[in-house]
Chain A
Amino acid sequence: MTLNDWLFGRLTVQAALPFYSAIATAAASIVVVGALAVVVLLTKFRLWRPLWSEWLTSLDHKRIGIMYVVLALVMLSRAVVEAVMMRAQQAVSYDSPGYLPADHFAQLFTTHGTIMIFFMAMPFLTGIINYAMPLQIGARDVSFPLLNSVSLGLTAAGAALMMISLCIGRFSTGGWSGYPPFTELAFSPDVGPDYWIWAVTLSSIGSTLTGINFAVTIYKERAPGMHLFRMPLFCWTALCTSILMIFAMPPLTVATALLALDRYAGAHFFTNGGGGDVMNYINLFWLFGHPEVYILILPAFGVYSEVFSTFSAKALYGYRSLVYATMAIAVLSFTVWLHHFFTMGQGANVNAVFGIATMLIGIPTGVKIYDWLLTMFRGRIRFAVPLLFALGFILMFAIGGMTGIILANPGIDYQVHNTVFLVAHFHNVLIPGLLFGMLAAVQYWFPKAFGFRLNEKWGRTVFVLWTAGFLFAFMPLYALGLLGLPRRTVEYFQGAYRPWTLIAAFGALLLLLGLFAVGAWLFVSVRQRDDNRVPAGDPWNGRTLEWSMSAPPPEYNFAVRPRVTGRDQFMRDKLGGMAYLRPDEYEDIEIPLGSAVGPLLGIAGILCGFGLTWHIWWMAAGGLLLSIGTVIARSFVRETTRIVPAGEVRLQHEAWLGRLAMERPASRDQEIAPSNRGLALADGS
């Protein structure tokens, strides 16, 4: 072993630099220039210190939530661009190699899927739950604030590995599911699958910890009187998602760890020979993978429940039904994983059992859709942006659910499995399902988080572009799938596919515009923030506890812990004239001090992952030592919390109550006007 090997492992100039295609070089340049621009801006505006002390090391669940969402939006941008590149490739690759080399195309579908699931969807929903759930249950923070920061650090480390892989070396070509034996050394000897393994492993550990944290928070931190059956539905979906995370993420961690043993230690868990069995990987992966899709969709269901209720000015219809349906989906989600591989050669009866189990999920899902419909029934509906997303969701999700049940028929699945029909289906449930839910959540809770409303016109533009883009991009894929086009193909030879791929490319272009619109939406809103301030904190005439405090909320959330007597407590208080009361007494509030443990573990994760990927053992060991050292050092820290004295809480709270008294209540007709200062007219609608 030469010194060079020891220092750099498999990392050589040739292997590392992304000069295998002009497009890859350009992409890497954008990442590098972007990162440099961030560094320059942070330095120029002297933001390093506040970034570190107020954000990165913060243990405040609200800030951690916001950082998760920022991470998700950054990763969303990359993955959407990748999607557009793939659609553009297929639009021009009828009997022609197109503009992307096959290997680059394969990296694109792998990174697109991996990012969208692990580094867009998961951080997005984790961020939204992080922000809203503790406020909704009347908690001051999550149960384990430090663990929360560690989860974020690990997830961000995985995302960082994804970004590094764009600049140094190549990524896996094995798809987001990373099936062996293709991802074994025999067929993928390069470092691509290693990048994938470590990025996904970091993210899966982060998500397991998040699940534990959220579930314990919901069980232990609810305000007095907040019985489980008084929780807002979003909290129920957060609870179910957390439980799913706890049980579903470990199989993934195990699967990637075993695959790593195959690749690093010469083991034979999933190799062709030596007693390995790919079927074990596939089972383990989907034992995670199927609950995962409900991890993704349930929080969005929760958001829609809040949105339908709030913007119909009406309590949720069939609350208990919705809770039972959510629970049923969570339980059933563990019983259906086999439908991802009906074509693996198991018997007809096994397939039938799993097919029927899958269809059973359609029942609670159908119930939910009707409960939301009946929430609108006899309401007073305001077509605010979140509700537009919710309406678009219901209509398009009905189609996605239907194609899901089609796929659950083993007999039909034998035909459409592995075709773009499947691709159309899961985008149909994830874009109008998950992504619309998250965008609705942004529009809905943004004013709470930042103290001003987002621009409605741009919000509507985002909705229109994403809806049209989705329909144009993915409806043709249903047709293409029925016509037999396999997924992940860089080139095709049937003229019949051509028109559909062109339509799909047009849709992808609309989605790209939709992405720009998201940027414009945020940018314009920030510029107009002074016209849209809602310091009173209740811009939508909200029903649940998070609207009862200032916007943005104080670090300790509730000056006095609320007493809960029923569902939609804040609406009850407003209607009963009990909202914004001056409490008799205040008490000291203990809040966590910031900590560098989360970011340090994230850095350790990057070092470890990068070192392992390139066989730079000193770096991997260094990362591991750093993480162990960080944890040990933390155990010596005695002062982990600080006390906000009752007097200070009183001052802040009474100052806010004083400002409230000067605000004019806004009716729902003024909802998107500057006169909506976040104090809602308590007329019930």
Chain B
Amino acid sequence: MAAAPFWFALLLVVLSGCAQTGSSMLHPWGMVAAAQRDWLVIAVALMMIVVLPVFVMVPLFAWRYRRRGGRGVYRPNWTYARVLEYPIWGVPVLIVAALAVMVATRETDLDPYRPLPGAGAPLEIDVVALDWKFLFIYPKEHVASVGLLAIPRGRPVSFHLTSDATMQSFFIPALGSQIYAMAGMETQLHLRADRDGVLDGENTQYNGADFQNEHVRVEVVPDASFARFLAECRVAGRVLDPSSYRMLAVRDTLVKAKAAFGLPPDGRLLFGDVQPGLFASIIAKYHPGDRTMRMAGQAE
């Protein structure tokens, strides 16, 4: 029992050993997930100060003071000792204080809204959560993809998210935090991938029949390959305008959406041109009375 930190460390090793590459925080692919894993280990270690004595004392007391054959003295009226009150209240207070300081100082570091350092200016990506697929718009590059996210290695990514359907939670475990996407609202998320590879992205908020299939293929690639991805989008030749967007937004599976665009289930649904202001207009349509929102949608 006393070896719990050891077992915990071992568990993490075993877990990360059997984790598929690029699937979770135990194999961090980016600085955020790595920081989260480290924080988890520290928090567990700190709490062991309170938890371990419990694991030692419960069996010990139960055995020593057992009715039959126990060797402890019996003091039925011993119910209070001031000297014990200090550690009983003090130790948990100190540990929570330590954790609170950690939260207060490090929380801002892990804030999903905080831009990350990295190579080059952040890559902006607008995410639209649809039932049951994610649409990714690269506003500066004027391309878009569905169920597929390509990001350059080492460059921070700044996501702006909204939903045009149910509330969803966009999550790439190996990279870091998740954040909700809600209709008529915009949330933000900053991530950075530090190694090349293919990761799994997912929606973690149940939203109906095809929830389990709402996954995203996340491709972390070097700069040159990212340029090739942009070219691939443009070669695909599709335009994301209100009419093609309506086809996408139909409440159906990603596979059906691909079929609607004449693609096989494993095809890559890419758009080489995106109508400016589409993302803002998706948000603005939930605020028909709000002129400033509408203007912002038109201005973009």
List the interface of chain A (C-beta within 8 A of B): 102-103, 106, 173-175, 179, 181-182, 187, 272-273, 275, 278-279, 312-319, 321, 341, 343-345, 347-349, 351-352, 355-356, 359-360, 362-363, 366-367, 369-371, 373-374, 376-383, 391, 394-395, 398-399, 401-402, 405-406, 409-412, 414-415, 417-419, 479, 482-484, 486-496, 499, 668-669, 684-685
Contact = CB atoms under 8 A, between A and B. Distances in A.
A428 to B, nearest CB: 13
A273 B184 contact: yes
Nearest to B50: A366
Which 8 pairs of residues, A with B, have the shortest CB-CB distance? A414-B177, A484-B173, A348-B111, A418-B204, A411-B110, A366-B92, A345-B187, A272-B183
28 contacts: A103-B209, A181-B167, A273-B183, A313-B67, A321-B88, A343-B180, A345-B113, A349-B108, A351-B107, A352-B103, A362-B95, A379-B65, A381-B62, A395-B58, A405-B43, A406-B47, A410-B107, A411-B110, A412-B40, A412-B43, A417-B169, A417-B178, A418-B178, A418-B204, A483-B19, A486-B202, A493-B215, A496-B19
Given A187-B166, A381-B66, A348 B113 contact: yes
A65 B264 CA distance: 61
B103 A405 contact: no
A410 B111 CA distance: 9
Given A279-B182, A409-B39, A363 B93 contact: yes
B47 A373 contact: no
Contact of B61 (A313, A377, A409): A377
B33 A415 contact: yes
A106 B79 CA distance: 50
Contacts of B68: 669
A348 B176 contact: no
B292 to A, nearest CB: 15
Interface string B124-140: 00000001000000000
Interface residues of B, number: 101
B70 to A, nearest CB: 7
Interface stretch (B22-30, B229-237, B241-249, B270-278): B22-30
B261 interface: no
A278 B43 contact: no
B176 A415 contact: yes
A351 B179 CA distance: 13
Contact of A412 (B19, B26, B39): B39
Contacts of A494: 20, 23, 200
A315 B206 contact: no
A468 to B, nearest CB: 17
Given A360-B96, A363-B93, A486-B204, A344 B112 contact: no
A168 to B, nearest CB: 22
Nearest to B26: A482
Nearest to B52: A398
B15 A482 contact: yes
A363 B96 contact: yes
Contacts of A490: 211-212
A373 B58 contact: yes
B6 interface: no
A649 to B, nearest CB: 34
Given A273-B286, A318-B85, A381-B66, A187 B208 contact: yes
B147 to A, nearest CB: 13
B54 A272 contact: no
B99 interface: yes
Nearest to B172: A484
B211 A489 contact: yes
Contact of B74 (A173, A496, A685): A685
B70 A380 contact: yes
Nearest to B54: A398
B188 interface: yes
A321 B5 CA distance: 30
Given A181-B167, A402-B47, A499 B18 contact: yes
B39 A414 contact: no
Interface in B151-199: 163, 165-167, 169, 171, 173-174, 176-180, 182-185, 187-188
Contacts of B228: none
B103 A410 contact: yes
Contact of B178 (A175, A398, A415): A415
Contacts of B202: 484, 486
B93 to A, nearest CB: 6
Interface string B39-64: 11001100100110011011001100
Interface in B6-36: 11, 15, 18-20, 23-26, 33, 35-36
A177 B107 CA distance: 27
A363 B97 CA distance: 10
